Amino acid sequence: MDFFGKNVFNDTVMREKLPKNTYKALHKTLDEGLPLQLEVAEVVANAMKDWAIENGATHYTHWFQPMTGYTAEKHDSFISPTADGRVIMEFSGKELIKGEPDASSFPNGGIRSTFEARGYTAWDCTSPAFLREDAGKVILCIPTAFCSYTGEALDKKTPLLRSMETLSKQALRILRLFGNSTAKRVTPTVGAEQEFFLIEKKYHQKRLDLMLTGRTLFGVLPPKGQEMEDHYFGSINERVTAFMQEVNIELWKLGVPAKTQHKEAAPGQYEIAPIFATTNIATDHNQLIMDTLHKVANRHALACLLHEKPFAGVNGSGKHNNWSLSTDEGANLLEPGTTPHENAQFLTFICAVIKAVDDNAELLRASAANPGNDHRLGANEAPPAIISIFLGDELSDIIEQLKIGKPNTSKQGGQMTIGVSTLPSLPKDSTDRNRTSPFAFTGNKFEFRMVPSSLSIAGPNVIINTIVAEVLSQMADRLEQADDFHSELQAILREVAINHSRVIFDGNGYSEEWVKEAERRGLPNLTSTVEAISALISNKTIDLFKKHGVFSHTELHSRYEIYLELYSKTINIEALTMIDVAKRQVLPAVVRYSTELANSINTIRTADPKADVSAQKDLLNEIAPLLKDLGLIIKDLQDATTAAKQLHGDAYRQGILYRDLVFKTMNELRQIVDHLEVLVDYEMWPLPSYTKMLFRL
């Protein structure tokens, strides 16, 4: 309690430090989305600077989230020289609300023309400024949006804020129809559970693959993996506990409500989850969590791996994006109510989400696509690449009954008409049993489980917010025109139940049967990133985002280009890293060991011509052809990489080539190297083993 939020310029601090009228004016901006006046910004900037300096700050930065998916910052000190050779500490309103970093070195997907390299950052005053303490240097971080000279979003935050705006507008239309005339805003809330691995830093530094690509490109699983199911929720050792506690303290100071942490399913795997917040703040929090995990791990001689699949053979990592809708009056719109009226409203929002997900399954899938996630989705550990919704027995039953027209209140009978009858109560725990569903209703929120562990949650939430806003707007259009609200609502919900039940699936999402069943139902199954992201530039997507003012045509194309390039560049780096490690570390080690075996055979035979050296010979014979193949396949991979690289004119075809040729050859190379690992002397093997990395902590 003493230090939670100590480093945040939060509402309490603002109330204390700002003149009353400035505080009020700022709140008008925050609560009602009104533009911020420069005079107000001037006063806020001054108060913010004084507060920051009191707390030891010397620098400030506009903290933004470019398309790299990481955060970006450029530190400027507050100092300003005076005539007498001293300095004063200055910070103006203009510096608070606007920055002008060079945009040319950030991914922009062709948006920025070379003659206008300037980018602009603008304060997102809905997310509080905070102080970061890095090795004694205290920096005032101002959360900002980042756009080009011509106003296109070059970041992840701008579209997120836009999507929140449209969702609020459309959700309010629905609330008004249900007679709520007082709510001013509806905000999507998000709680993101973050999975990660921890390993000893000294091993991390000995693995070029981990250092450059975030995942092990070679490595054999030891005789024990995760099959004993003894890691999940296991007791946390003291070294990791010390790490976790420091992470908590850092996060609490930053106002990030770190709440839950536990061991995950794979050895060496953990999870941390904060308490949910408004989407843009939750996004900032998640970025701070990822950043803090890295920094604190380093202090503890650990390495934190946020990659989706650092180790083959055990579970990879994801990020569960818990999502709901909340009014400024504090109501959770996905919380089942107790009166018929509340139930009708609840069902309306539930049905809106169902239709939104079914109408836009490809887009939702695209929002969770990154090269790392290609290793997870569809493997038997993460949700499949097929989008479906889990509702739980009770809610599924209600949707089933909606189809018939006059739904029963429960299996026990009784007639239900929307807005007239009460729903059977939905036991919260019964809705949370299916862990294999990519999009699960968990009592009072939906949990999108496809999100990759290293990805910014901004993208997936932009999509969820916008597709739900779209369906709400379709519903509002009809309901506002309707003569009889309740019968029109009943018709709408019935249509959703009939037309979109195909996306509801409560069974085992990991099973082979589901893949076939989903195909029968006509649900898309996009297994790779390259295919999945095409959805970003379909005409349907372009129209949707234009209508809601979330992405322009140009912005969508730029994102498509950026993601395709990101895919190709990632595979390219992985391939080159593999070649480097195979050629300069693995091959020499295998040669050394073969020579040792040959020397042993010769030496022993010289000493005793009748000695049995068959063990050495057998081993040598097993290794020799693999060594030869290793040489050949390294060359194949070099050729494949060169061929793919040359195709740079066509980002899509290049992506496909990286996937079908380069990635395939990488797997062949890995097989040979992994086979060699179990033949070569443990002491001679150049890479720290999976055993060391996964079981030594």
The residue ranges that bind Mg ion (CB under 5 A) are: 193
Q: Which stretch binds ligand ADP (CB under 6 A): 91-99, 169-177, 222-230, 267-275?
A: 267-275
Q: Which is nearer to ligand ADP, 305 or 440 (CB)?
A: 440
Q: Please answer whether residues 602 and 568 qualify as being in contact, where contact means their C-beta atoms are separated by less than 8 angstroms.
A: no
Site string for ligand ADP, 446-485 (x = CB under 6 A): -x--------------------------------------
Give the tokens for residue 574: 């992985």
User: What, of Mg ion, ligand ADP, none, does residue 275 touch, CB below 5 to 8 Å by kind?
Assistant: ligand ADP
Q: Which is nearer to Mg ion, 121 or 454 (CB)?
A: 454
Size of the site for ligand ADP (CB under 6 A): 17
Q: Which is nearer to Mg ion, 155 or 193 (CB)?
A: 193
Give the tokens for residue 687: 């890479």
Give the tokens for residue 579: 């070649």
User: What, of Mg ion, ligand ADP, none, does residue 445 touch, CB below 5 to 8 Å by kind?
Assistant: ligand ADP
Q: Which stretch binds ligand ADP (CB under 6 A): 367-375, 440-448, 490-498, 582-590?
A: 440-448
Beta strands in 507-607 (DSSP E): none
Site string for ligand ADP, 186-215 (x = CB under 6 A): ---xxx-x----------------------
User: What, of ligand ADP, Mg ion, none, does residue 494 touch, CB below 5 to 8 Å by kind?
Assistant: none
260 binds ligand ADP (CB under 6 A): yes
Separation between Cα atoms, residue 664 and residue 62, nearest integer Å:
42
Q: Which residue has the tokens 């420091």?
A: 246
Dihedral through CA 567, CA 569, CA 570, CA 576, nearest 10? 140
Among 65, 324, 436, 558, binds ligand ADP (CB under 6 A): 324
Among 275, 404, 420, 684, binds ligand ADP (CB under 6 A): 275
Separation between Cα atoms, residue 486 and residue 67, nearest integer Å:
45
273 binds ligand ADP (CB under 6 A): yes
Give the tokens for residue 98: 């606007």
Separation between Cα atoms, residue 134 and residue 68, nearest integer Å:
22
Q: Which stretch binds ligand ADP (CB under 6 A): 319-327, 345-353, 596-604, 633-641?
A: 319-327
For 533, which DSSP code? G
Give the tokens for residue 53: 């300096």
Q: Which stretch binds ligand ADP (CB under 6 A): 12-20, 226-234, 269-277, 370-378?
A: 269-277
Give the tokens for residue 295: 């920094």
Could you tell me the smallest distance in angstroms from the CB atom of residue 139 to ligand ADP?
Answer: 27
Among 444, 527, 538, 689, binds ligand ADP (CB under 6 A): 444
* Residues contacting 362, CB < 8 A, separation 6+: 524, 526, 532, 535, 538
Q: Which stretch binds ligand ADP (CB under 6 A): 66-74, 390-398, 444-452, 480-488?
A: 444-452
* Residues contacting 79, CB < 8 A, separation 6+: 58, 87, 88, 89, 90
Could you tell me the smallest distance in angstroms from the CB atom of residue 277 to ligand ADP?
Answer: 8
Backbone angles phi, psi at 136, to 5 degrees: 90, -15
Separation between Cα atoms, residue 225 and residue 314, nearest integer Å:
6
351 closest CA partner among 463, 501, 460, 505: 501
Kindly list the residues in this chain that would bind ligand ADP in the complex (CB under 6 A): 189-191, 193, 260, 273-276, 320, 322-324, 332, 444-445, 447
